[in-house]
């Protein structure tokens, strides 16, 4: 092990924004059950994946680099509703009650902190457990105090803050997001139309020495102002938007079409979803944020400017439909119109009946553990090597995001190897 990676000593506090939501409670329940040996952490790269090292032996990632042990994790967070994690998980109806009862006492002990919330950023939600704040700067100061209080009360050595709350309304990058000074000025002047609650959480986390992970497509840490803050505080930032269902499929199928030089004329994607996220995304302003995230994937993979005959005129449409009876069991439909030799058309239909939070929970665990590892390894700023987990991988103005799932996986392996002083192999693995 390289000496410049600090060991994962002490307790790691995971503070989740939206701790009572479906994703968060599923993530917490599974982690608590896994550390008791009651379930396997299926879907988690950090817990189950192996990498071939220089000695030709395959080793678990957690045996290569010093990840925090699941037994050393403490959960907490904020929510706009007061229910403890057990009550909230029952309400979310993702997991069966007998699975929740495996760790019932621990779930009941996780009580949310009042949330920093602005109804204008998620109009379909009416929070009852929210902070009273005089300004966005006051919002930041209260969140910072929450982090300090939790860290002290739970004897945590380190904290990671994870956004697992709903998608905020879409806003474009503005002058207030271009520098740290401009961001702080806007917070103090309470410019609520350009400073979102998620930006306040991110600012508070980074300032308190905690990595921040954005699990939704919100404009938040993907701004020059936040890159400057991450540089100043030497904290990792990761995101954005958990790559769990339909987009995961796109990052597998699109590279296949491109590798085979098969053309694509159209890609229609629609979803039905009934949980809180689906309700929020039923608002056009919030859906716009998600749409931008989901639409960016295939253009990046196809590179239409290089291959205009194959991908220069792809009609790409994405829809999300709120359908309450389906609850967390999202159904994703894709119709892909492709063409091959001599231009002859073909069609591919994908019907993915997935469980949204079941797919997102291990992503949340991996992003948190790897962000904590990055902090201890002295890797601050945008964690591009964590693009594997995100629909809209973060990148600065000088680089393009990588969307190809297999290229992203290679980035993780190369980063893990380099952390322990090994060179990547000369072959693709």
Give pLDDT, residue 291.
76
Give pLDDT, residue 395.
86
Distance, in Å, from the CA atom of 200 to the CA atom of 65, rounded to the nearest integer, reads: 32
Would you give the distance in Å from CA 385 to the centre of its chain? 13
Tokens of 26: 């599923």
**CA-based nearest residue to 241, from 314, 315, 162, 171:** 162
Q: Do residues 220 and 163 touch, judged by C-beta distance below 8 A? A: yes
Domain architecture of the chain: domains with CATH: 11-242+357-419 (3.40.50.720), 246-353 (3.30.360.10)
* Residue pointed to by tokens 């239409």: 304
Q: What is the pLDDT of residues 121-157, one digit of tens each?
A: 999 999 999 999 999 999 999 999 999 999 999 999 9
Would you say the pTM of this structure is higher than 0.85? yes
Q: What is the pLDDT of residues 87-129, one digit of tens each?
A: 999 999 999 999 999 999 999 999 999 999 999 999 999 999 9
List of residues 6+ apart from 35 with CB closer than 8 A: 69, 70, 71, 73
- Residue 153 CA: distances (Å) to CA of 11, 149, 412: 12, 6, 34
Tell me what the mean pLDDT of segment 232-242 comes to.
96
């Amino acid at each position: 092990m390289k000496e410049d990676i600090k060991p994962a000593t002490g307790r790691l506090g995971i503070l989740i924004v939206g701790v009572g939501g479906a994703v968060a409670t599923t993530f917490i329940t599974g982690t608590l059950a896994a550390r008791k040996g009651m379930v396997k952490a299926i879907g988690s790269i950090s817990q189950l994946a192996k990498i071939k090292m220089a000695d030709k032996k395959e080793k678990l990632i957690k045996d290569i680099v010093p990840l925090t042990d699941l037994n050393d994790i403490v959960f907490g967070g904020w929510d706009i509703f007061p229910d403890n994690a057990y009550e909230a998980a029952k309400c979310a109806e993702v997991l069966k009650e007998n699975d929740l009862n495996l760790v019932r006492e621990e779930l009941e002990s996780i009580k949310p902190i009042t949330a920093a919330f602005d109804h204008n950023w998620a109009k379909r939600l009416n929070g009852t457990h929210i902070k009273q704040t005089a300004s966005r700067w006051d919002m930041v100061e209260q969140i910072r105090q929450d982090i300090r209080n939790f860290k002290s009360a739970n004897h945590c050595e380190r904290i990671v803050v994870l956004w697992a709350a709903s998608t905020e309304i879409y806003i474009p990058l503005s002058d207030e997001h271009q520098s740290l000074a401009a961001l702080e000025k806007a917070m103090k002047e309470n410019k609520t139309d350009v400073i979102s609650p998620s930006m306040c959480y991110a600012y508070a986390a980074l300032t308190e020495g905690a990595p921040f992970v954005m699990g939704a497509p919100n404009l938040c840490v993907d701004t020059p102002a936040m890159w400057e803050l991450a540089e100043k505080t030497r904290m990792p930032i990761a995101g954005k938007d958990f790559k769990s269902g339909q987009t995961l499929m796109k990052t597998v199928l699109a590279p296949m079409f491109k590798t085979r030089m098969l053309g694509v004329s159209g890609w229609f994607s629609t979803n039905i979803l009934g949980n809180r996220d689906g309700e929020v995304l039923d608002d056009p302003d919030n859906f716009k944020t998600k749409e931008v995230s989901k639409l960016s994937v295939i253009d990046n993979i196809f590179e239409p400017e290089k291959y205009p005959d194959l991908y220069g005129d792809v009609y790409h449409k994405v829809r999300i439909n709120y359908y309450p009876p389906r609850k967390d069991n999202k159904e994703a439909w894709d119709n892909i119109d492709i063409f091959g030799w001599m231009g002859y058309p073909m069609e591919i239909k994908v019907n993915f009946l997935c469980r949204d939070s079941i797919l997102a929970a291990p992503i949340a665990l991996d992003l948190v553990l790897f962000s904590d590892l990055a902090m201890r390894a002295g890797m601050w700023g945008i964690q591009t090597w964590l693009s594997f987990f995100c629909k809209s991988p973060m990148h600065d103005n000088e680089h393009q995001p990588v969307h190809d799932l297999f290229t992203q996986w290679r980035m993780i392996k190369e980063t893990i190897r380099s952390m322990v002083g090994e060179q990547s192999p000369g072959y693709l693995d």
